[in-house]
Amino acid sequence: MTQPTRPRRNFYGRLKGKSLKQSQKGYIEEDLDALSPGPVDWEANPERTPLDLQALFDGKPVWLEIGFGGGEHMVHQAAQNPDVGIVGCEPYINGVAMLLGKIRRAGVDNLAVHPGDVRDMFDVLPEASIDRAFLLYPDPWPKARHHDCRLFNPAFMDALHRTLTEGGCLHDRRTAIIAQML
């Protein structure tokens, strides 16, 4: 059996902003590994073994937040819905650091954090494992010439559709629910 090869994926956005504060560096060093959903990156999981979300969240329904920014919405949802497990993906390390501080202050424990591209997460999410997905601020690329930079594309929608459960839905900030996928 041959190992899958890592697809070439362009990333159009910032991965890092201003220097992190000492407290934020501490959050990343102390908390990030404990909040990992499992091996997502290609180096740690070259076989692309699916994550065991049922074991991670004790059989709770799982929600996915794509690009959580500073984490305000994600922490709010975790506090309001303790009976749900939430996985957040964000490649911007400053946003990840802000989220980790908010998690500490809120004391929520039903979260997992992937500090990277959601497309890598889609590679290891089991089929029909996500009940709800949030994509609150998609595609900051308004011009037609930026079409290749946009996250919403057929490959993204196919991957999202594969991971959503029957009746699962995608929420965005404008329409509350974009679509029920099945």
Q: Tell me the two tokens of residue 51.
A: 């994550």
Q: Give the span between the Cα atoms of 102 and 80, in whole angstroms.
A: 14
Question: Of 88, 87, 41, whose CA–CA distance to 69 is shortest?
Answer: 88
**3-class SS of residue 169:** strand
Q: Which of 41, 117, 120, 139 is catalytic?
A: 139
101 residue type, one letter: G
**Cβ atoms 110, 37 nearer than 8 A:** no
Q: Tell me the two tokens of residue 54.
A: 């049922």
109 catalytic residue (yes or no): no
Angle at 82 between CA 98 and CA 68, to 5 degrees: 30
Q: Following CA atoms 65, 78, 174, 171 in sequence, which dihedral angle do they give, to the nearest 10 degrees?
A: 50
Q: Which residues are catalytic?
A: 139
